[in-house]
Amino acid sequence: MRKLSLSTAQKIISAAFEKAAELGLKPLTVVVLDDGGHAVSMARQDGSSILRPQIANGKAYGALAVGTGTRWLNANAETRPHFVQALNGAAGGAIVPVPGGVLVKSPDGAVLGAVGVTGDTSDNDEAAALAGIEAVQLVADCG
C-alpha cells in the first residue's frame, strides 16, 4: 500500500470511534490526510463542537509537517516555543502542536498520511488515533 484510500481512511475513523466508545470518551472528530496533506476523510460524532474539524486537521497536518506525531511537537512547544511558533507561522497557523496527530506509515516505513483526532484529552485523542491506525494494520508514529 502506497496511498491511503477512502475505504482505509473510513476504517481508521470507524476504529477510532470504536475505541472512543470503549473508553467512554467525549464526542470526537477524526480527520485522515494523505501524504500531501489533503483530506481523504473526516467525520464528527454527534455533539462534537464546531471547531473540531479544524483542530483535528491541524493535528494531522502538524504530524505531516514535521514527519512524526504531534507528541514531539508538544514537547518542543514546551522546550523550544520559538521554534514551534516559527513553524506554525510558516504553516500559516495550520498546525495544532498537541498530542492527537499521528503519522501513518506502511510496514516498510513509507509515510502514507496522518490521522488527527480531537474532542477529549490529548492523550485520549492519541489513543483513538492509534487504535484506528492499528485496526488497518499500518504503522503509527506518535512522536
* CATH number for position 72: 3.30.450.150
Distance, in Å, from the CA atom of 22 to the CA atom of 2, rounded to the nearest integer, reads 30
Specify the residue for cell string 467525520: 43
Q: What range defines the domain where residue 51 resides?
A: 6-141
Per-residue pLDDT 10s for the chain (143 aa) are 579 999 999 999 999 999 999 999 999 999 999 999 999 999 999 999 999 999 999 999 999 999 999 999 999 999 999 999 999 999 999 999 999 999 999 999 999 999 999 999 999 999 999 999 999 999 999 88
Decide if 99 is inside a domain: yes
Query: How many domains does the chain fold into?
Result: 1
Task: Give DSSP secondary structure letters for 74-137.
Answer: HHHHHH-HHHHHHHHHHTTT----SS-EEEEE-TTS-EEEEEEEESS-HHHHHHHHHHHHHHTT
CA 11 to chain centre: 14
Handedness of CA 38, 107, 101, 5 (dihedral sign): positive
8 A C-beta contact, residue 13 and residue 29: no
Question: 3-state class of 37 per DSSP?
Answer: coil
Confidence at residue 2, expressed as pLDDT on a 0 to 100 scale: 76
CA 25 to chain centre: 16
Per-residue model confidence as pLDDT tens digits over 50-85: 999 999 999 999 999 999 999 999 999 999 999 999
8 A C-beta contact, residue 130 and residue 123: no
8 A C-beta contact, residue 118 and residue 125: yes
Decide if 1 is inside a domain: no
